[in-house]
Amino acid sequence: MRIGFIGLGIMGYSMASNLLKAGYELTVYNRTIEKAEKLGKSGAKVAYSPKEVAENSEVVISMVTDAPDVEDVLFSEKGVVKSGKKGLIFIDMSTNSPEFAKKTAKKLSEYGIEFLDAPVTGGDKGAREGTLTIMVGGKENIFRQVEPIFQAMGKNIIYVGEIGSGQALKLCNQVVVSLDMVAVIESLMLARSLGIDDEKLFSVLSTGAGNSFTVQYYLPKIMKGDLEPGFKAAHLKKDLKYALDTGTSASLPLPGTSLALQLYNSMVSLGMGEKGTQGLIKVYEKLIKT
C-alpha cells in the first residue's frame, strides 16, 4: 500500500520513519517543510499539501495537534478530500474526542473515504522504538486491511470497536497518565522536603508497587531538570479537556481529572505549554514560593 503521512512532530516524524524502514512507499507533508525534506533524504516523497499526499496514497495518516488541524488537513482548499479517490482510507492517529471521530467519519463517507480513529500512547520513546500502543476504532474489515501498517509503528495494536472507541480508550489512558504525573511530582516534592535523596526515592518507586512508565521515564528527567517534551503539556491539557467534557456529558464525576486539568491549565498559563508534561513540577515549585 502507498501511504501518506501528515504531521511530522515529536511523534509523527519517528512514526513515519518506521514506515519507511518497513519498506512502505511513503509520501509526507508537514507545515514546516524542512521536516518533510529531511525524511525525503531517507526515501520519502515530499508533498506540499495534504491534497498532494492524497493524490499519491491509498492510505493517509494524520498525526496533528487537535480537531481543527484534522479538519484543515481534510477539508481545506488543499485538503485530502480534494483529491482523495473513492476507497481511500484516512487514519487519524492524533487524539480527539469520540464525537469528533464520529462526525468526521460520517462526513468522509460522503466522499467515499473510509475512516479509522487510531490514537497512540507511548510517548516519543515508543514512537522512536516502534513500540507504541495503538487503539483503533472503525470498521473491522478496514482495520484488518491496514493492520500491518500499525504493526510497523507499534507493538500493542488493539482493535477497540466502532468509530470513536479508539479515542474513548485513549482518553481513559490520559486520565491515568496525568494523575500518575501528579502523584510522582507530589512524591518527589515530599521526599525533598524531608531531606530524602532523589535517587533513593527513584530506587523505591521503580522497584515497588508505585512503579510506572512515568516513574521509569519521566522521574529521572525531572530529577535532572530536563523539561524537554516527550509529550507536550499543552497537548495533555487538550486531552484532559476532552476527557472531562466526555465525562460531563455522561453525568460522570471525574474529580481527579478535573484537578489534573487545572494543574496543566496553570502550567500552560505560565508559558510552559511547549515543555514536556514533567514540567508540571514548576507549578508546584511556584506554589511553594507563593
Looking at the DSSP assignment, which residues form a beta bridge with residue 6? 29, 62
Q: Please indicate whether residue 170 is annotated as part of the active site.
A: yes
Q: Which of 45, 51, 102, 170 is catalytic?
A: 170
User: What single DSSP character describes residue 255?
Assistant: H
Residue 75 CA to residue 70 CA, distance in Å, equals 8
Q: Could you give the count of Cα atoms lying within 13 Å of 235 in the half-sphere of its Cβ?
A: 26
C-alpha cell at 24: 512502505
Helices (H), 93-218: 98-109, 123-129, 140-153, 165-193, 198-205, 213
The partner residues of 116 in beta bridges, in order of sequence, read: 91
Phi, psi at 66, each rounded to 5°: -150, 175
Indicate which residues carry an active-site annotation. Answer: 170
